[in-house]
Amino acid sequence: MMLVAVPVEEKGDLDSKVADTCARAPYIILVELGDGESRIVKTIENPALEFKHGAGPIFVKTLMDEGVEAVTCPDIGESVSELLLEHDIKVLKARPGQKMMEVISR
């Protein structure tokens, strides 16, 4: 099983749309993937939204605290990308507005 973080624009389910950017997404849905199945573990509010500057490190720390192994997002800034790499969190590409189910079913 793999725990994947999907930054989304609104709270929801597998039909939620992937956010354009990772660190500034309002919500993060944590999905457990494995054996051809997926299950939403929980949805959390992104604590990085509270910060005018430095949202990237807060976002990555949140993923680390939750035990995330991969994150999917269309646009990841250079500093966030480096932090994810440092902490062995894989990046799965997505298109802006793509439904979460389309991304995690690949």
Rounded Cα distance between 29 and 18, Å, is 10
pLDDT tens digits along 41-74? 999 999 998 888 889 999 999 999 999 999 998 8
Phi, psi of 2 (to 5 degrees): -125, 135
| Structural contact between residues 67 and 61, judged by C-beta atoms closer than 8 angstroms | no
Kindly list the structural domains of the chain, giving each domain's residue range(s) and its CATH number in brackets, ordered by start.
2-104 (3.30.420.130)
Amino acid in the structure at residue 2: M
Mean pLDDT for the chain overall? 89
Percent of the chain with pLDDT over 90: 48
Predicted confidence at residue 46, as pLDDT, reads 94
pLDDT at 106 over 70: no
**Residue 21 or 84, more confident:** 84
Rounded Cα distance between 62 and 26, Å, is 13
